[in-house]
Structure 1
C-alpha cells in the first residue's frame, strides 16, 4: 500500500473509534440521569411521608395538651366550689392598680374596673361690691348698708362611688355666708328689723346614695344625710352655673323653711331623659340647734318637714327644649323652745346680694306657728343660646299651736312671690339639660380663653325681675308687715374656661314697708342700687 493510502486508512479507523466512544459515553449519561431521577422521586416520597407524620404528631400533642388543661380547669373549679362551700365569697375582687384622671380638672382616682372612685372637689366664690342705699324715712331700719367684700362660698371635699352603685359626698364650706337667713328659729333668737343674714361655716354635704335600682326604664337614687335638695328649679341648678350672683328671694325664702343647703334629709328620686320625681323627709340644718342644755337659746327641739317635686323636659330637640314642673313643701313640726314653750317661724332675705348681711324684708318671729305649706310652679326653656326661666311660690303659715304666748289671731297667713329671667350667650353656646336634677347646666365655652390659642371664652348677658311680698292682713294688728321687695338685675358673665368665671351684676331694688295699726301709716322702706363682681373658681 502506498503511504498515502495507509495514512487515510489510519485516519478513518481513528474517526470510527472516536465516534464509537462518544456513542458509548452518551448512552452511559442517559442511564445515570434516569437513575438520579428515580432516586430523587424516592426522596420526595420519603419527605412527604415524614411531613405527614410530623403533622400528625403535632396535632396529637395539641389535643393531649388541651385535654390536660380542661382537666386542670375542671379540678380547679371543683376546688373553688369546695372552698366556697366552707367560706362564702362576698363579691368579685377588683383588678389591681388604679387609674388617675382629671375630668374638668377635677383630680379623680378610680380602680382599674371603674367601680370605685374618689375625687376632690372645690369651689370659691369671692364677691366685692357696693351699695347706694336710700332709706325712705328716719324710722327705716337699717339706715345704711355696708359695701365691701365677702367670701360667699369656700368649699372643699371629696365625692365618689363605691362598688359601682354607692355614691357619697363629704364637703365642708369655709365661707361665711349661707344661702339665706335660715327660716326657723325660737322666739327672741334674732332681733326683728335687723336680722343677721348668713349662716356659719359647716358641713355642706355629708350623704350616701344608692343608685343600683333602675325601675320603669329610668334611674333611681335612694339617699340620706346632709345634702342640697333638688327642690325649686333655681336651687336645682348649681351655684356654679346660675346666671346671677344670687338666686331670687322667693326661692331662697321657700327653701329655708324645710329644704335648701346644709339640710339633713332622707328620700328618693327617680328620673329618665324626660321625667323627674322626688320626695324627701327633712330635718334641721347642720347649723341649727340640735339639743338642749348648752345651746342658745337652750332647750330647742329639732324641726321636721317634707318636700316633693315633679318636673319634666316636655319638649326637646337638637337646639331647643322646654321644662315644666311643680313643687310642694310642708313644715310638719317647727322647732320648739321647750323651756319658754314657744314655737315660731321667721321668713326673711337680703336684697339678692350678700355683701352686707342685713335683711330688708322680714316677717320677724311669727308666734304660735304649728306648720307651714309652700306650693310652686316652674317653667324654663332654651332656644339655641337663649335661656329663660321663671317660678312662682305661694306660702301658707298656720299659727294655731298651743304655746305659752297668747295668740293675737289663729288665722293662717299667706305670702307669695315670683321671678322671671332670661339669658343670652353672645358667643353662641347653649345650656344643656341635666335630667338628674331636672334643671339646666352652665355654659361651657367652645373656645376657652387663651392668649396662645386665640380663644376668648364665652360671654353671656342676663336680666331678671323678682318680687317677694311678706305682707298679709296689714290692715289689722293681727297681720304681718314684712315688706314687699322688688329687684331688677342685669348681669354680664365671662366664662374664661370650664373652671373660671367672672360675674358683674347691677341691681336696682325697692322695698315697701309699713308698721301695723294702730301706728300711723309710714313707708319705712328703702330703695337701692348696687354693683357687685364675683371671681369664681370651681372644679
Structure 2
C-alpha cells in the first residue's frame, strides 16, 4: 500500500507542476488549458514631512496603494480584476474582459481610458511617487468599451465610457455622472538599439455632467491635504461638458530619459466657461547604467530590472505646472527624486517637493518617501 501511494504521488507531481507555476509570479492553469490565471498585488507605504507655509499639512504616513489582482484568460478571453484596499476603503480599479479583434484588443468593463502617457503608465513604474498635475484631468478608471490597435511603430485607441465621479472621495458630496469619450494616437520608432523616440496625442470629451464638475490637485504630494486647491469647480446646477487635448513626448537614450506632456481644454455650461492648461517636463538618469523600459505598442513605461546585485540607482527632476486661465489661478512645483531599485519587485523612493500655489498664497515644501513592492 505504501509503495502504491508513493508511486501515485510521484505520478501526480508532474500534473501539478503543469498547472501551478511560481516563475515570475503565482500562475495557475487548468488541465485543459481553458483557464490561465495570475494572482498578484502591490503595496506602497508612504511617509511625508512638511515645511508648511499658510496651509497646515500634517506630516505622517499612509498606505498609498494596497492592491490585489487576478488576470489571465478564460476560453481565450483576457480578463483582469484589481481591487485597492488602501485607507480602509475597498475600491474597484480594473474589472474587464478583453478579446482580440482585427489585430488589436477590444476591452469591455472598467479600465483606464486612453488619455495621456503618464496616466496610462502603471504607478509601479512612474519615476516619482505621484504623477504630475496634468493627470488630474484624466478620467482614469471608468466603465465603458474601448479598442486599442497597433501597426509597426503606430498605436491608436478609442473608447466610450460613463463619466462617473464620486465626490465623497474628492471632498464634495454625492456623485456626478455623464458620458465621455477618449482617443489616443502614438508613434514610437526605435532609432537604434539604445535610442527610442515617442510622440503622441490624446483627446477627451465629456458631456451631460450633472452636479459638480471638479478638478483638484495636491500641490506637495498625496499627503498634502491642506494644500489641495480647485483648478476647476463648476457647481451651477446646469449640466456641464469639457473638451481637452494633450500632447506627449518621450525619448530614451541609454541611462538618460526625457518625457513631457502638455494639456489644454475647456470646461463649460450654458453660463460658465473656464479654460485650463497644464504642463510637465521630467528627466531621469540611471547612475548604474540601466535604461527605462518602454513599450512601443502601448506607449507606456515598464519595469526596471537592475543590472547589478546591489540594485539600480536613478536620479530625476521634474517641473510641474497647471493653471485656470479664466481666473488667473495657477499651481507649480519642482520635484527632485532618488530611486533605489533593490530588485525588479522592490523599490525605495525619496522625493523633495517645492510647490507654489496661486503666486505665493501658499508655498508648501515636502520630503516624501516610499517603500514599494509588487508580486
Please, what TM-score do these two structures have when normalized by structure 1?
0.62
The alpha carbon displacement at 1:365 in A equals 3.4
The alpha carbon displacement at 1:114 in A equals 5.5
Retained in 2: the 8 A contact 1:230–1:437?
no
Check if 1:487 corresponds to 2:333.
yes
Check if 1:537 corresponds to 2:353.
no
Check if 1:462 corresponds to 2:316.
yes
The alpha carbon displacement at 1:226 in A equals 1.2
The alpha carbon displacement at 1:210 in A equals 0.4
**Closer, same or farther in 2 for the Cα pair 1:528/1:286, shift >3 Å?**
closer
Higher relative contact order (CA 8 A, sep 6+): 2
Q: 1: distance between equivalents of 2:199 and 2:261? A: 10
- What do residues 139-195 of structure 1 show as CA deviations (whole Å, max 9, x unaligned)? xxxx3111100110000021111233x110111100139xxxxxxxxxxxxxxxxxx
| Aligned match for 2:364, one of 525, 528, 535 | 528
- 1:426-445 equivalences in 2 (<5 Å): 426-445=287-306
Q: Which structure: larger Rg?
A: 1
- What do residues 296-324 of structure 1 show as CA deviations (whole Å, max 9, x unaligned)? 64xx6632111000012034321011000
Corresponding residue number in structure 2 for 1:133: 52
Q: Which has the higher helix share?
A: 1
Corresponding residue number in structure 2 for 1:347: 215
Q: 2: distance between equivalents of 1:418 and 1:270? A: 27
Gaps of 5+ in 2: 1-14
- 1:50-89 equivalences in 2 (<5 Å): none
Check if 1:163 corresponds to 2:42.
no
Q: 2: distance between equivalents of 1:538 and 1:411? A: 45
The alpha carbon displacement at 1:110 in A equals 2.1
The alpha carbon displacement at 1:372 in A equals 0.5
Q: 2: distance between equivalents of 1:232 and 1:129? A: 27
Check if 1:274 corresponds to 2:153.
yes
Q: 2: distance between equivalents of 1:231 and 1:415? A: 16
- 1:98-137 equivalences in 2 (<5 Å): 98-104=18-24, 106-111=25-30, 116-135=35-54
- Give SS of 1:533's match: strand
- What do residues 345-386 of structure 1 show as CA deviations (whole Å, max 9, x unaligned)? 112111151123334321333423531000010000100011
- 1:375-394 equivalences in 2 (<5 Å): 375-394=245-264
Please, what TM-score do these two structures have when normalized by structure 2?
0.88
- What do residues 32-91 of structure 1 show as CA deviations (whole Å, max 9, x unaligned)? xxxxxxxxxxxxxxxxxxxxxxxxxxxxxxxxxxxxxxxxxxxxxxxxxxxxxxxxxxxx
| Aligned match for 1:511, one of 343, 357, 375 | 357
Q: 2: distance between equivalents of 1:281 and 1:114? A: 33
Check if 1:239 corresponds to 2:123.
yes
Corresponding residue number in structure 2 for 1:496: 342
The alpha carbon displacement at 1:112 in A equals 6.0
Retained in 2: the 8 A contact 1:348–1:359?
no
Corresponding residue number in structure 2 for 1:399: 269
The alpha carbon displacement at 1:271 in A equals 1.5
The alpha carbon displacement at 1:436 in A equals 4.2
Corresponding residue number in structure 2 for 1:425: 286
Q: 2: distance between equivalents of 1:116 and 1:434? A: 26
Q: 1: distance between equivalents of 2:143 and 2:155? A: 21
The alpha carbon displacement at 1:201 in A equals 3.1
Q: 1: distance between equivalents of 2:47 and 2:234? A: 31
- Give SS of 1:276's match: strand
The alpha carbon displacement at 1:470 in A equals 2.3
Corresponding residue number in structure 2 for 1:49: none
Check if 1:361 corresponds to 2:229.
yes
- Give SS of 2:336's match: strand
Q: 2: distance between equivalents of 1:323 and 1:301? A: 35
Q: Which has the higher strand share?
A: 2
Q: 345-354 or 148-157: which moved more?
A: 345-354
